Amino acid sequence: MAKNVNFRSIGPTTYLSPVPVVMLGCADPAKGIRPNLITVAWAGVVCSKPPMISVSIRKERYSHGIISETGEFTLNLTGEALCRATDFCGVKSGREVDKFAAMALTPIPAAGLTVAPAVAEAPAYLSCKVKRIIELGSHDLFLAEVVDVNIAEEYFTETGAINEEAMQLVGYVHGKYRALSDVLGFFGYSIASDEALERRGLKR
Amino acid sequence: MAKNVNFRSIGPTTYLSPVPVVMLGCADPAKGIRPNLITVAWAGVVCSKPPMISVSIRKERYSHGIISETGEFTLNLTGEALCRATDFCGVKSGREVDKFAAMALTPIPAAGLTVAPAVAEAPAYLSCKVKRIIELGSHDLFLAEVVDVNIAEEYFTETGAINEEAMQLVGYVHGKYRALSDVLGFFGYSIASDEALERRGLKR
């Protein structure tokens, strides 16, 4: 493999990629706050047991206050059909726009949660409960436990497997939304037997 | 857009995707610990100012102790050419194997760090200093500041722009390594002018 002997610094920046790009759903009906969406790319898995994710949100964002107050939100995965709506929810504020209405999306009750809505048009969503908020600087880090995950029926095969390719998931790479394509391998494929590789349609 | 009226629960799990899949480089020469790599997919951006990332690592992993002790590591982005090595570094332990040697990778000094090596074959790497470690359960969360980012010279165009498509970055989706392909849009494209879209080669 070619060695990249020469590197050029671009300075300290958040150059990790790809990162997920998901629509976070929240609401606070007790305060008259309608279902709202905010797009987050500063998100990640942080623990397997218990299953936990993190999202980072600027203090000044409308959703920051809602989630801090209610302690719950959904993360709705983005397929290609939702890419434009996802971008819109990242550049507009819920203070001025009803993003569900503007993007013709449908808020539905989320399994395991009380007030935060899921997006009916999403291929899958995670129901999350906030456990801890940590101030970091421009963003506050919300550490949350995943209490349930729901996947649209159409992505299950007859045998009950999940057809993830059909979700046409989107990744975020330095300001660009990129489609995911070919499967290059599966976890452990570098040490798998020829038989295991062939069964999964891969070559050594 | 089609509404997914019916969802099926798969229970609480870490179903966020795509997530990054990167090789974390560390070493502790003062203790005779050679350069080591561990693959992390539980990683994300957590703050823009200061630029911070998080990685989650199980306590029992070899690298956990090294990073806790030295307080620094690199995150090396994965292009398609590095996918097999990335998988290998995720399933083998540095206690038993010299992963750099096994995968014919080259440790090089990382800009801004003292002991943690970068991978010469990676398209880009982030130099990170640990600020805080938070126990969550199966994994500990390392919050780290990015002190520098370096990109291999070959990915810069003549005008100094970065050709990210040429990096052939890899995402991780529920146990599978997936290639990134088409650009579907850029941040803000949902509200961009026709002129701006055309300039970027996109249609409304």
Helix (H, G, I), strand (E, B) or coil at B67: helix
Residue appearing with tokens 């969360």: B141
Identify the closest residue of chain A to B203 by CA–CA distance. Answer: A84
Looking at chain A, the whole-number percentage of residues with pLDDT higher than 90 is 91
Split at pLDDT 50, 70, 90, the class of A1 is low
Distances (CA, A) of A134 to A64, A67, B72, B134: 12, 13, 21, 11
Which residues from B are below 8 Å from A189, CB to CB? Answer: 84, 87, 177
The residue among A51, A36, A40 whose CA lies nearest residue B46 is A40
The token pair at A43 is 């998100």
Helices (H), B10-82: 62-70
Q: Which stretches in chain B have pLDDT values below 70? A: 1-5, 204
Q: Across chain A, which distance is largest between two alpha carbons, in Å?
A: 59
Number of inter-chain CB pairs under 8 A, A vs B = 354
Residue appearing with tokens 């203090």: A59
Q: What is the mean pLDDT of residues A141-162?
A: 96
Facing B1 at nearest CB: one of A54, A121, A137: A121
CB contact under 8 A, B120 and A5: yes
Dist CA A63 CA A58 (whole Å): 9
**Burial of residue A16 (number of CB atoms within 10 Å: 0-12, 13-18, 19+):** buried
Residue B101, CB half-sphere, CA atoms under 13 Å: how many?
6
Rounded to a whole number, what is the distance in Å from the CA of A145 to chain B's nearest CA?
Answer: 9
The residues facing B7 across adjacent strands are: A152
**pLDDT at position B97, please?**
94
Facing B6 at nearest CB: one of A46, A90, A153: A153
Rounded to a whole number, what is the distance in Å from the CA of B31 to chain A's nearest CA?
Answer: 27
Dist CA B133 CA B142 (whole Å): 5
Are A72 and A48 contacting, i.e. CB atoms less than 8 angstroms apart? no
**pLDDT at position A134, please?**
98
Dist CA A134 CA A52 (whole Å): 15
Can you tell me the ipTM of this complex?
Answer: 0.95
Average pLDDT, chain B: 95
**pLDDT at position A201, please?**
81
Q: What is the mean pLDDT of residues A140-149?
A: 98
**pLDDT at position A186, please?**
94
Q: What pLDDT digit, counting tens, does each position of A50-80 carry?
A: 999 999 999 999 999 999 999 999 999 999 9
Split at pLDDT 50, 70, 90, the class of A200 is confident
Q: What pLDDT digit, counting tens, does each position of A14-52 carry?
A: 999 999 999 999 999 999 999 999 999 999 999 999 999
CB contact under 8 A, A15 and B90: no
> Which residue type is seen at A155?
Y
